[in-house]
Structure 1
Amino acid sequence: MHDLVIRGGTVADGTGNAVRTGDIAVDGDRITAVGGRVGAGRRELDADGLLVTPGFVDIHTHYDAQATWDALLTSSCWHGVTTVVTGNCGVGFAPVRPDRRDWFVEVMESVEDIPAPVLRAALAWDWETFPEFLDALDRVPHALDIAALLPHAALRVYVMGARGADPHAVPRADELGAMTQLVREAGEAGAVGFATSRTEHHRTGDGGLLPCHAIRTDELAAVAAGLVQAGGGVLEVGSDFPDGDLETEFAGYRRIAAESGLHMTMPVAESPSRPGEGRRLLDLIEQAAADGVPVSAQVTSRPIGAVFGIDSRLHPFAAMAAWRRAGSDPAVLRRGDVRAAVLGEARAAGADPRLGSVFRIAHAASGFPVPADALGAEAAAAGADPLAFLYDALVAGDGTALFYRPAVNYDGGDDRWVERMLRSPHAVPGLGDGGAHCSMISDMSSPTTLLTYWGRDRPSGALLPVPWLVKRQTADAADLVGLRDRGRLAPGMKADINLIDFTRLRAHAPEMAVDLPAGGQRLVQRADGYRHMVVSGEVAFTDGEHTGAMPGRVVRRT
């Protein structure tokens, strides 16, 4: 008798092949049979009418801190994700010397919008080295699997001390050797790779650039050498090419990937502040891959946008002295004298609400909101001044209303650029950013959007095949980070499995929750349609509710 049988589901097995109806048998944490009718199970799940897929793999998260206190890794666990990869963008909490802990807390608050009081209250700091960090994560029960990248900023400061925090400081030969050795040790302990970043948007607590911002080719080569000595791993390199020479900078990364044989992955997006750059980068990645260089893009399933409300610093009134004096009590802010003072100050400052691309939060879950649904259209229909309209919307009712402003990869609701990225054979959907951007961005639901918008709800243009979409979020994502024991429904593969009511599948709108340590708040986002989520052969979630099972573990590359 099998430990678990999933009976009669519509199986999208992660290969991209057409769906088929059949059973799946699980024994222990492994799949033992797929297709046809299998024997009885000690527990059976009725999958008739359900889409059965491998568990989703999110290759780009920031659960480095949250994983130490949140056993469920919310909100990723509500969107079919069974494996997360953390340590992205070159930032994290290991390796770290005791005297640099608070500095990294401030860095993570500044770069990833994780409140410093939360981190100070919650982090146990029962580690110093990266292998010790993995061991510390392993001591915490989890519902999902966690894989980790070694973050460059932490490595650089650990090796170079305070001098390493200066991105323009050049490592000495002995320091490069130490980096190689520590990367090797991290890889041998189970790190799935290494992450670095040189974007202008990533800043330290005092506004400075990240330690890894000015990474030199010899420094990246030293890191690559450590991964090679450890047996391999992925190199994640994020850059917005601040020197203005995308082609030259990319050529250096391409050379490292070609010489080391390590797979290099780069986030790719089209920003309104740098038009055309994302398209050029994707072209370069595709050309390099066609030439045999192991390189790929990390892409999104929808626009990346900011969420804001009355307490946010992202709306045009947050900087106004009259607003700050009034606090965040909506009743006070609705008073005529306060309203007049704030609006007067905002108009004098030339504040632009940009309501043509601001939407009520319900539209954040739809994929690609269109200008006809924006607050600008509402204001025009009401004959209202846009600035006053936004003010009144923010302070209405109990002041908990949230709004969404898509920016990156958003072209007025036109989805063709995102389709172009998703269709690339050298791109993998990721960038869910779970664990980060607590009060500003809610992209943990991207796997749900990938299936619903592109496989079912797209209002115009061709739908993308559901089996192919499943493959992108499962086998392709797992293979990218070297986790080849998951991502496919086949005998011998790890039993991470989703049972999905595809007709009911939808992401809820993000909500603000006050559930972080020390009373911190963050955006959370649930979903409907995930009937069961199986991790390592155990049913971990049913209808979005945790069953109590804790089958997750730290996944170590071997």
Structure 2
Amino acid sequence: MADYDLVVRGGTIADGTGVATREADVAVKDGKIVSVCAVSGKGKEEIDAKGLLVTPGFVDIHTHYDGQATWDSRLQPSSWHGVTTAVMGNCGVGFAPVKIEDRQRLIELMEGVEDIPGAALDEGLNWSWESFGQYLDALDARPRDMDLGAQLPHGALRVFVMGERAARLEEATPEEVAQMRTLTAEAMRAGALGFSTSRTLNHRTVKGDPTPSLRASEAELLGIAMGMKDAGSGVIEFISDFNTPDPESEFEMIDRLLGASGRPFSVSLAQAHRRPEGWRLLLGLVEGLAGKGHAVKAQVAPRPIGVLQGLQASRIPFSMCASYKAIAKKGVAERLAIMRDPSFRAKLLEEAREPLRSDMAARLTDYDRMFPLGDPPNYEPDQDSSLGARARRENRDPREVVYDYLIEGEGRNFIFAPFANFAAFNLDCCSEMMQSPHTLIGLGDGGAHVGLISDGSFPTTLLAHWGRDRARGRLDVAWLVKRQTQDNARAVGLHDRGVIAPGYKADLNVIDFDKLGVEAPVMKWDLPAGGKRLLQKARGYRATVVAGAITYRDGEATGALPGRLVRGPQKAA
């Protein structure tokens, strides 16, 4: 008889704590790691990991699988990238709690904020819940290829309590704040990992209305935070523009919230191109809160934040032009045929020369920050590889160069257009952010912006680019693994995973580090109602293990679905 359920033999162990790698076997029984040494006993299943990197399963703390998780057992693309635990309900958007009359409002909010097709949500969501606890029960009923934790979204909570008044951004009454406090405590006790809110103008419904939580008062936020204190659990996630002349005042409010509630807190942080040094001020304010004894972190990304533009994507640089708007809803092949017509080309290029009228138009037409994505993709491209630079070399109008690139490759070409973390045409700012002791690796948005981005591949980029490929400033592999495993797990209260040691959950990756990398994203029309989404696979993952069961071998699903809903914080092994 076998001594263990699984033995991973002879791998190079990066155990999640950041200590130097070492060679060892890993033995697993009943979903837990029971030995990390030279294992003499046999396993029912064994993996020869000689020459391979063995890590804990990756923990992704910022995803948007809130809808997909109700109808899909495979949380791809994240599960292709070594993620074994994902946290969703970020950015203040989600689907519970909800009243029947508000269901469509929540769909419109998710579609607008996270670019998830409303038709797919309409068809895919069965709405078998009202309370947040009932939503967790619905999630709990479905096995999946990874563990999943959920946060209580402010938008849904506010609409549930205030109805139309929430959408009109009215101030909550004391009675409504008290109700939110009670519902928050109930959600935490039911198993929510935390609460998320958004105060950014970038978050709007598909109709263009602001997110309901945009102007929530300090009294409202305090009431919710105190609900978490009442329950004794939960982390707070905060997203804001911090665009006021005095961002310190917003941090003073955060200081008061944390002082009263004692809950851990995280805030999103990125380099805005229009204010390339502004992130330093915000990180300094985070450090100031930490210096007062608060458990505060900033979530940062390991590569540029941007969009993919192309005929298969949701946008192209000419999306604001009248002639393109007239054909935008046609299929790719039909649009491609129209765009190959010289007369249409001339007309559209002439329209593209009209003055820009919005920040979005400016983003879509920053030709010096438009790069052919390539295969494999390059997320730190040289400045002279931009389409704008190509136009100067060829003495052509950049609009013409972009247009011609879009219609090459049968319309399957993608333009990578970063709008954050790439102001200096390099990722030095990401390196600084990631190395701060006050940051976490996040913001991948797996399951969201499905027609514009494919950032669920962040974990693979983190390890391959920063640990192996970057020409300068490479980072220690064991440390990078710690950032994506133990650090993230502890930040959301999951102390039972993220480390390869006896007693910990047997979530593992076995990686051919020399071959590790991201593949080019492809567009698939596989969401409910035929909705489209970008999917991006990885290479180099020889095996991914969840609770001791092998879920993926060489990037292909095995059929095992051991993943479960994680309710509330988990105690240390």
Task: Identify the TM-score tier after normalising by the shorter chain.
Answer: over 0.9
Q: Secondary structure at the match of 2:163?
A: helix
Distance 1:536 1:420, change over 3 A: same
User: Is this contact kept in 2: 1:23–1:34, CA < 8 A?
Assistant: yes
- 2:459 corresponds to 1:487: no
Deviation at 1:363, TM superposition (A): 7.0
User: Residues 172-187 of structure 1: matches in 2 within 5 Å?
Assistant: 172-187=173-188
Normalising by structure 2, what TM-score? 0.94
The one-letter amino acid of 2:390's match is E
Deviation at 1:312, TM superposition (A): 4.5
In structure 1, runs of 5+ residues without a counterpart are none
Deviation at 1:349, TM superposition (A): 4.4
User: Residues 81-92 of structure 1: matches in 2 within 5 Å?
Assistant: 81-92=83-94
User: Residues 336-485 of structure 1: matches in 2 within 5 Å?
Assistant: 336-349=342-355, 353-362=365-374, 365-461=377-473, 463-485=474-496
> Which deviates more, 350-359 or 27-36?
350-359
Deviations 1:95-118 (A, max 9, x none): 010000011111111110001111
Distance 1:244 1:156 in 2: 28
The one-letter amino acid of 1:379's match is A
Deviations 1:463-505 (A, max 9, x none): 2111111001000000000000000011110000000000000
Distance 1:364 1:7, change over 3 A: closer
Deviations 1:344-389 (A, max 9, x none): 2222446874321111122783331121221123223333221111
User: Residues 78-117 of structure 1: matches in 2 within 5 Å?
Assistant: 78-117=80-119
> Which deviates more, 89-98 or 414-423?
414-423
Distance 1:107 1:366 in 2: 32
User: Residues 6-405 of structure 1: matches in 2 within 5 Å?
Assistant: 6-167=8-169, 169-312=170-313, 314-326=315-327, 327=330, 328=332, 329-349=335-355, 353-362=365-374, 365-405=377-417
Deviation at 1:311, TM superposition (A): 4.8
Deviations 1:261-300 (A, max 9, x none): 1100001111123443322111111122133111111010
Deviation at 1:340, TM superposition (A): 1.2
Distance 1:324 1:258 in 2: 50
Distance 2:236 2:414 in 1: 36
User: Is this contact kept in 2: 1:192–1:481, CA < 8 A?
Assistant: yes
The one-letter amino acid of 2:568's match is R
Distance 1:428 1:362 in 2: 28
> Which deviates more, 275-284 or 187-196?
275-284
User: Is this contact kept in 1: 2:27–2:39, CA < 8 A?
Assistant: no
Distance 2:419 2:324 in 1: 25
- 2:530 corresponds to 1:519: yes
Paired residue total? 556
User: Which of 543, 549, 556 does residue 538 from structure 1 map onto?
Assistant: 549
The one-letter amino acid of 1:343's match is L
Distance 1:359 1:414 in 2: 13
Q: Secondary structure at the match of 1:369?
A: coil
Distance 2:155 2:326 in 1: 38
User: Is this contact kept in 2: 1:323–1:333, CA < 8 A?
Assistant: no
User: Is this contact kept in 2: 1:258–1:294, CA < 8 A?
Assistant: no
Deviations 1:14-70 (A, max 9, x none): 010001101001001100011233421111110101100000000000000011122
Q: Secondary structure at the match of 1:83?
A: strand
Distance 1:348 1:200 in 2: 26
Distance 2:220 2:324 in 1: 47
The one-letter amino acid of 1:404's match is F
* Aligned-pair identity (%): 48
> Which deviates more, 405-414 or 449-458?
405-414
In structure 2, runs of 5+ residues without a counterpart are none
User: Is this contact kept in 2: 1:60–1:85, CA < 8 A?
Assistant: yes
Q: Secondary structure at the match of 1:88?
A: coil
Q: Secondary structure at the match of 1:541?
A: strand
Distance 2:313 2:326 in 1: 15
Distance 1:179 1:503 in 2: 50
Deviations 1:420-456 (A, max 9, x none): 1100111110111011101111111111111111111
Distance 2:377 2:76 in 1: 17
Distance 1:440 1:263 in 2: 31
Distance 2:405 2:43 in 1: 54
Distance 2:233 2:325 in 1: 51
RMSD, aligned α-carbons: 1.5
User: Is this contact kept in 1: 2:6–2:46, CA < 8 A?
Assistant: yes
The one-letter amino acid of 1:333's match is M
User: Is this contact kept in 1: 2:57–2:507, CA < 8 A?
Assistant: yes
Q: Secondary structure at the match of 1:52?
A: strand
User: Is this contact kept in 1: 2:466–2:475, CA < 8 A?
Assistant: yes
